[in-house]
Structure 1
């Protein structure tokens, strides 16, 4: 098994925070832009760094759900939820609850664990009603509803998150095929499902394959189209209000899909250019991952650089009195020079 302590090797400055005339913080990382034909369009840092994609690969984890035929009756809202890291808002909770009900299942059948709602309105509702958050509020509950749907088709045991379960074996096979490499190791994600390691280049290749997929292609290509289009059609289901995934997809008007993952992973699927993007910030800083993906979306023409959403993640930083006190900006060689 290869060592997985590569994440710091050859990492380069990607995002800087300036306060006044002083550089206050620097976020190092790796970024790769790939074409579906396997060519690296550009990269920063180490393209083949081994990493966990975390929730950025949920659309890959959902491929067996579509390819197997298990999800033939699912609507685009459910497919978006299968790819989501949602914030437990009412529309997310009710959507997953209805999905489980259609299967004749309930919240107890999930294996993702309860999570406090990140949505303020739902959090306040729970407090006022003296209710506790449940597994439906877990940001991965839609993915797990997809696992349960696939499990119904495969006839596996109730413990569908075990690494040797038929559901996870199907996920691993699809994951390795679209990333173009065997996964040497897996870790257990926050939702208790296995998360298979790959190279950043492999993750970007998977996104590029989603970008280049066509309805006229084979079963996998059609599954990729269904999942990416569901994400672009329902950005509010993929994350939620004020979240970067939702705001960036809205700003791009349904022309591209983006997805974050824990520990500052971010990916993008750009169908119009047939490109896939993957990046990882070494220190796990979310603000840097959001800034970096924004910069790359602008660089590759998916996002208008003058759109107001860009200023939310890149540019002037304001304090509580709305005074400009600093800037979040790209490091000198990021998004200007690539290797």
Structure 2
């Protein structure tokens, strides 16, 4: 294991009853519509693991391999991280059935749904974790579908030297305009590719700026048209894309987030501590720099801190991002 952690600035603060309780450091970059850096905080050129924020660009590699989704919902869930709600699992299962496969062919681990209500129902019913309920099952169903379309073996589809994974790695580097500097195993078992937050922003920006009808634009359009299939009920990505016409947003585990808006630019960030709490306020601060109105972003820009039965503070962008 190598590499020292950079001395990144504070991006987000947590205030409780007027007391600064916590601070979240990280790196954040803002690009204009042409891909030029207009704002940078922290080590924005240092490789990080974008985790599920890589999925939109990954999906373009699956289309290039021959995957032909039967609906925009299938394409959206193939690029998403769903909550495991009933319709999510049904769509992922249908994708597998369409290519002669089933849930046992998925390489992602079994899991309980992330949607609280659905998870509670499963626990009460004594229902065991299932592969389809894992939040990456849509991506895995899409990967398997691409393998079938390309004539590649479905066994071993998660190995780095499998032709599918080689195509994904090359595509991510192409879109980011930089080399993939490390390949590790993600939480779902698939290869995960290290890129800088600047490269991550470039890649997602290229999707929303692509020509209509292109594979890149098709992914962006499907995600924006069906944000519920990208994430699910109550998720910030679903909420942001519903509230902001044209916005493409995709979070990743361990404090990563990326968003792009055609004609405006893109924002990408990594919160050093890997927590989710500071991620969306930082993203929204970056989106303000793209000219988005604060009132639209308000539900995610500042999130409440509870005390007793009331609100006593907030999680909010640090002065560096508010300037």
Aligned to 1:166: 163
Aligned to 1:120: 116
> Of residues 291, 294, 298 in structure 2, which corresponds to 1:301?
291
Structure 1: how far apart are the matches of 2:85 and 2:308? 27
Structure 2: how far apart are the matches of 1:315 and 1:239? 19
Do the aligned residues in 1 keep the contact of 2:108 with 2:188 (CA within 8 Å)? Answer: yes
Structure 1 residue 330 corresponds to structure 2 residue 322: no
Shift in alpha-carbon separation, 1:28–1:165, aligned structure 2, 3 A: same
Alignment of 1:237-248 (within 5 A): 237-248=229-240
Shift of 1:36: 5.5
Aligned to 2:307: 319
Aligned to 2:259: 268
Q: Could you report, residue by residue, the CA deviation over 1:70-115 in whole angstroms, capped at 9, with x for unpaired residues?
A: 22x4311001001111110101111101111111110001001111
Shift of 1:47: 1.8
Shift in alpha-carbon separation, 1:207–1:312, aligned structure 2, 3 A: closer
Aligned to 1:236: 228
Structure 1 residue 42 corresponds to structure 2 residue 39: yes
TM-score w.r.t. the length of structure 1 is 0.90
The number of aligned residues is 322
Do the aligned residues in 1 keep the contact of 2:76 with 2:219 (CA within 8 Å)? Answer: yes
Aligned to 1:310: 298
Structure 2 unaligned blocks of 5 or more: none
> Of residues 59, 81, 86 in structure 1, which corresponds to 2:82?
86
Structure 1 residue 292 corresponds to structure 2 residue 288: no
Aligned to 2:190: 193
Shift of 1:313: 4.7
Shift in alpha-carbon separation, 1:110–1:81, aligned structure 2, 3 A: same
Could you tell which deviates more after superposition, 78-87 or 121-130? 121-130
Structure 1 residue 143 corresponds to structure 2 residue 139: yes
Q: Could you report, residue by residue, the CA deviation over 1:104-143 in whole angstroms, capped at 9, with x for unpaired residues?
A: 1100010011111111332233234432121000100010
Aligned to 1:107: 103
Aligned Cα RMSD in Å? 1.8
SS in 2 for 1:27: strand
Structure 1: how far apart are the matches of 2:318 and 2:144? 43
Shift in alpha-carbon separation, 1:297–1:194, aligned structure 2, 3 A: same
SS in 2 for 1:306: helix
Could you tell which deviates more after superposition, 327-336 or 57-66? 327-336
Shift in alpha-carbon separation, 1:128–1:325, aligned structure 2, 3 A: closer
Q: Could you report, residue by residue, the CA deviation over 1:159-181 in whole angstroms, capped at 9, with x for unpaired residues?
A: 10000001100100101111111
Shift of 1:316: 4.2
Do the aligned residues in 2 keep the contact of 1:35 with 1:208 (CA within 8 Å)? Answer: no
Poorly superposed stretches of 4+, deviation over 6 Å: none
Structure 2: how far apart are the matches of 1:93 and 1:78? 11
TM-score w.r.t. the length of structure 2 is 0.94
Q: Could you report, residue by residue, the CA deviation over 1:226-261 in whole angstroms, capped at 9, with x for unpaired residues?
A: 111111111111111111111111111x31011100
Structure 2: how far apart are the matches of 1:81 and 1:315? 27
